[in-house]
Amino acid sequence: MKASYAASVFINCPFDRGYRPMLFAAAFAILDCGYQPRCAQEEEDGGDVRVEKIKRMIQDCKFGLHDISETELGDNGLPRFNMPFELGLFLGARHFGDHSQKGKVTLIVDRAQYRYQAFLSDIAGQDIRSHGGNVDTLITVVRNWLSTATKRKTIPGAAVIRQRHADFTVQLPELCAGFQLQPVDLLFNEYTQIAASWLRLRDQAAT
């Protein structure tokens, strides 16, 4: 189900297996803050032009989380520029879009604080956060960003989200076993579906 524009967060990050725990942690933190994570992986339609799908998603989301940490040379000696490209699209929508698009809020994260200056110096002056490749740091950064960017008073503290994420990660193999799945094979949609359900039922049990 689609969330309203103001409740949608676009995640622009690498999709390789090595980055997966980071992607899922970011999605978990977004869900726990009461927002809806959106990612190009949620739609797998071979007939859809990829960039069109991304543009549509960017238009639907007020918030954009951009991780440019994997912008590095691949096996073929060429850099991967998908993340900076999508970041450019997002910033372009904010600059040239209508009234609602101008209210877009961006978070740019990288492995190290000033690494971007070597390959994307045009974004100098923007606030780039570093997660150091650490899941807990990324959760904290995402939570603090959403909390600062909005006036919502119901966003849990970073420590609470980190603890819930740790609990969920411990229970994930058991949850996956219920669907005859392995945690490493989980797709983005499956992860968010299970995580949202887990958070909701946990809240209900607590009240």
Partner 1 sequence: MAKQEKTSTRVARTASKTLAKPSASPTVKSVAGSALSQSRTGKATSSKVATRASSVLRDTESGSAARSMAGSVLTQRRDAKTAPSKSSPKPKPSRSAKKAGKKAVKKAVKKEESVAGAALTQHVATRRTADGKPVRVVLTPYRGGSLRRDRVESVVSTVLARHKKK
Q: Is 182 in the site for partner 1 (CB under 8 A)?
A: no
| Range in contact with partner 1 (rule: CB under 8 A) among 13-21, 37-45, 63-71, 84-92 | 37-45
Q: Is 205 in the site for partner 1 (CB under 8 A)?
A: yes
Among residues 97, 101, 133, 199, which is the contact residue for partner 1, using CB under 8 A?
Answer: 199
Q: How far is the CB of 20 from partner 1 (least distance, A)?
A: 15
In this structure, how many other beta carbons lie within 10 angstroms of the beta carbon of residue 105?
17
Please give the Cα distance from 18 to 7 (Å, whole number): 28
Q: How far is the CB of 86 from partner 1 (least distance, A)?
A: 17
What does the buried/exposed string (b/e) look like for 26-53 if buried means 16 or more CB atoms within 10 Å of the residue's CB? bbbbbbbbebbbbbbeeeeeeeeeeeee
Q: Identify the DSSP state of 104.
A: -
CA distances for 86 relative to 4, 25, 178, 203, angstroms: 21, 20, 36, 35
Residue closest to 68 by CA, chosen among 5, 30, 121? 121
Among residues 6, 51, 112, 124, which is the contact residue for partner 1, using CB under 8 A?
Answer: 6
Among residues 118, 174, 184, 185, which is the contact residue for partner 1, using CB under 8 A?
Answer: 174
Phi, psi of 12, deg, nearest 5 = -115, 100
Q: Is 148 in the site for partner 1 (CB under 8 A)?
A: no
Q: How far is the CB of 140 from partner 1 (least distance, A)?
A: 17
Q: Output 12 or 192, the one with its CB closest to partner 1.
A: 192
Q: Is 12 in the site for partner 1 (CB under 8 A)?
A: no
Residue closest to 38 by CA, chosen among 62, 71, 20? 62
Q: Is 189 in the site for partner 1 (CB under 8 A)?
A: yes
Q: Is 105 in the site for partner 1 (CB under 8 A)?
A: no
Q: Is 37 in the site for partner 1 (CB under 8 A)?
A: yes
Please give the Cα distance from 195 to 200 (Å, whole number): 9
Q: How far is the CB of 178 from partner 1 (least distance, A)?
A: 3
For the record, the structure tokens of 141 come out as: 């950064």
Q: List residues near partner 1 by CB under 8 A.
A: 1-4, 6-8, 31-38, 42-43, 152-156, 167, 171, 174-175, 178-179, 187, 189-194, 196-203, 205, 207
